[in-house]
Structure 1
Amino acid sequence: MTLRLHSKRNRLITILFALIAGSLLLIGAMNVQAPQAEEPLLTLNGQEVTAAEFNWHLQMNRALTADYFKQTYDANYSEKFWFTDYSGEKPIQRWIKESQTQLLTKRMELHLAQEAGVVSDISFEGFLKGMEHENQRRSQAAANKEVVYGPLHLEAQAYYSYYMSNLEDATIEAMRSNGGIVISDEQVRLEYEANLAAKYSRPGAIRLEWASLPFGPETEYKDQQKALEKMELLKAAVIAAEIRSDTGIHQQAKEFGINVGEVKITSASRRTAALENPKVLLAADQLAPGQISGLFAENGAIHLLYCLSVEDAGVIPFDQVKDAITLHLAQQKFRSMVDDKLSKAVPEWNYPMAERLANQAIQ
């Protein structure tokens, strides 16, 4: 299989994410062979799809189907799970349907890639050969002391995600080059202006006074409720005093013996704040100057915030996001093309074979 990969994404992140997802799925499709002397499982656009390829998608959707029924119906896995009726839904029927939908979608993406000249062989057998070749390349690169991004050996699910992600990127790039996908400057500008606040603005800096009272075995307040009651007294005092935003709450906090400090949340410090004190950041974003937050617990302390000031949010210049918006619109166009072709396609399914393969996979 010949494939020109021109990914603009971070391949390492893609591979690592795929590996995490792969650990949750049962990958056994490579060991399942298509039944001999039988009709094809699916015919799409004049091309036959084998049972082995459908088995691949069954395995990828097995854990996802089980999780759906666990989250939706609190259904626990058992021998009878796949055939149990949950409010009109049966796991085996949903499993087959989701696998069929995924198979059709990926087949259509492959057809578009072939039409764009990105890949010549879109057969499942060609894909498996490509996976073998990629792993051989990685092993040889490691032996030659060359840099290898990600693991030295890609497992089946990891390689599938890696392959399809890069295939989509390459197809979109090829279509943009040959005129199959055209994104005008006007479209990009309209997208930018329509989403200035939601997508293309930098949050303004927030100045806060932050009062906190620790609780726990090694603090004065062993019980969280006692700490909460003390902080409620502080909040009531602040409200009663009608504090102005320029004076803050430090005097009231001092009278109650509660620590208070002034902090400034900026665009540069937001990431750290989101990781270390996500509830504080969420509460701060909801405050206007002169407003006080509700009380909340985080990281072993009760917190109270008072907003001193909020700087106006800045707008990211158009030139800085133009390329990213163009790519985003091209990706949307590609997905629309896939959906349009799927809506017009007339797949010929061998449903008894699909059901038989699903039943065999359960055993």
Structure 2
Amino acid sequence: MPLKQVKKWQILTLMAGLVLVICTGMMVFRPASYSLKIDGVAVAEEEFQTEVTKAQYQVTKYFFDQYQAEVDHGFWDRDFQGENPKVRLLQEVLDQLRRIYAARSLALETGMISSIDYSAFINRFQASNQNRQKASSNGEAVYGLATFSQEAFLEYELDSFEQAYLDHFGTSSLAVSDAEQLTYYQSQAEGIFARYDDYEVEYIRIYYAMEDLNDQVLAQLRADLDSLASQSAHSRFDMAGFPSLVAYYGYEEIASDQVSTLAKFIGDVLYYADQLEAGQTSPVIDENGCLYLIRLINRTDNGPVPFEEVKEVIKKRLQEEAYQQLVIQKSDSMELDYEEDQLLAYLDSIIN
């Protein structure tokens, strides 16, 4: 066989081999394909990836809390008593995306938006920032953030969808009866609608950990405090007999609407006073580098906030709860179109 033909044949064989290797390599290293639709609407890769990033922390925290699992090289594919982190992550992402699309779908009913897909969301996001920047440069008042991040705008928009739905359907499909409001009030009267008591309290408070007190002085203060506690079990403090304690004495008459403000300054005293009955004196308390002696002179139980004062608050809260339940119901009814193995492979290409 001529030399030139042999070389030509070898070259052709070599080229064929290279093509095979390249094609095989493309098959091996080709990125996993992605396809996901919610109620027939394609979910953009960027939107999916954003939700993956947001959900990763919650999933890793769950597996750490449940199994003390560290996020190492093989974490996402490991089995934890039948639970797999990657599968859980995918479910979290799909659930969140369905809730977002459910809220957008409800927003269509109010005419607030005209499309539920991601590209329309990005257009609204960009337009909002442009309008805010323009208003700010013109010296106009801009409420909230001057510029939204994409995540912040999503939260802002979802809140706006809720308010628009309540405004549009609040008196019809989300109507709340007086009986429902009263039932809710009665169930929460001792909780979120409770008012602070009025207090009349006197106290000795010695922050010995913060003061430059030698051991002898501190020992004398403790002894005087024990004596005052013994003498004041059934009466007011007689400070005339304890001049060493006068600098540490305090007295307050506190109305219920003042408790939150004064808690910044004497919250520790109020905490211990709240555990006493009117006319009762505490034992000497030694906590966190501080000595206390507290006498609750008087307290007035103000009961819960009157129903009429919180009726509208209750109505709004119940409507908000009804709306959130509506979003969940809508979300559960939305059809997911995807191949699980394919989407898990794509998810794996993102997180690993």
| TM-score normalised by length of structure 1 | 0.75
Distance 1:277 1:351, change over 3 A: farther
Which letter maps to 2:35? P
Distance 1:238 1:87, change over 3 A: farther
Per mean C-alpha deviation after superposition, the further-off stretch among 53-62 and 123-132 is: 53-62
Question: How far did residue 321 of structure 1 move?
Answer: 1.6
- Of 203, 213, 233, the residue aligned with 1:243 is 233
Distance 1:52 1:252, change over 3 A: farther
Query: 1:129-140 alignment to 2 at 5 Å?
Result: 129-140=123-134
Distance 1:323 1:58, change over 3 A: same
| In structure 1, C-alpha distance between the alignment counterparts of 2:79 and 2:31, rounded to whole Å | 33
| In structure 2, C-alpha distance between the alignment counterparts of 1:73 and 1:255, rounded to whole Å | 58
Which letter maps to 2:198? A
Distance 1:351 1:237, change over 3 A: farther
8 Å CA contact 2:101–2:331 kept in 1: the answer is: no
Cα RMSD for the two superposed structures: 3.3
| In structure 2, C-alpha distance between the alignment counterparts of 1:83 and 1:291, rounded to whole Å | 61
| In structure 1, C-alpha distance between the alignment counterparts of 2:275 and 2:184, rounded to whole Å | 26
Match of 2:86 in 1: 92
Question: How far did residue 214 of structure 1 move?
Answer: 1.9
8 Å CA contact 2:77–2:86 kept in 1: the answer is: yes
Query: 1:1-363 alignment to 2 at 5 Å?
Result: 40-44=35-39, 46-86=40-80, 88-177=82-171, 179-216=172-209, 218-221=211-214, 237=227, 240-241=230-231, 243-244=233-234, 247-251=235-239, 254=242, 257=245, 259-293=248-282, 295-297=285-287, 301-363=290-352
Task: Using CA pairs under 8 Å that are at least 6 residues apart, name the structure with larger relative contact order, 1 or 2.
Answer: 2
Question: How far did residue 133 of structure 1 move?
Answer: 0.6
Q: Deviations over 1:74-95 (max 9, x none)?
A: 5444434434455554433332
Aligned length: 321
Which letter maps to 1:99? V
Per mean C-alpha deviation after superposition, the further-off stretch among 120-129 and 83-92 is: 83-92
Per mean C-alpha deviation after superposition, the further-off stretch among 315-324 and 128-137 is: 315-324
Query: What 5-or-longer segments of structure 2 have no aligned partner?
Result: 1-29
8 Å CA contact 1:215–1:222 kept in 2: the answer is: no
Structure whose residues are more often helix by fraction: 2
Question: How far did residue 292 of structure 1 move?
Answer: 3.8
Larger Rg: 2
Q: Deviations over 1:87-136 (max 9, x none)?
A: 55443333222222211222222222223433221111111111111111
| In structure 1, C-alpha distance between the alignment counterparts of 2:210 and 2:190, rounded to whole Å | 45
8 Å CA contact 2:76–2:85 kept in 1: the answer is: yes
> Match of 2:250, SS?
strand
| In structure 2, C-alpha distance between the alignment counterparts of 1:218 and 1:317, rounded to whole Å | 45
Match of 1:31 in 2: none
| In structure 1, C-alpha distance between the alignment counterparts of 2:225 and 2:340, rounded to whole Å | 66
| In structure 2, C-alpha distance between the alignment counterparts of 1:74 and 1:160, rounded to whole Å | 32
Per mean C-alpha deviation after superposition, the further-off stretch among 166-175 and 283-292 is: 283-292
Question: How far did residue 239 of structure 1 move?
Answer: 6.0
Which letter maps to 2:237? I
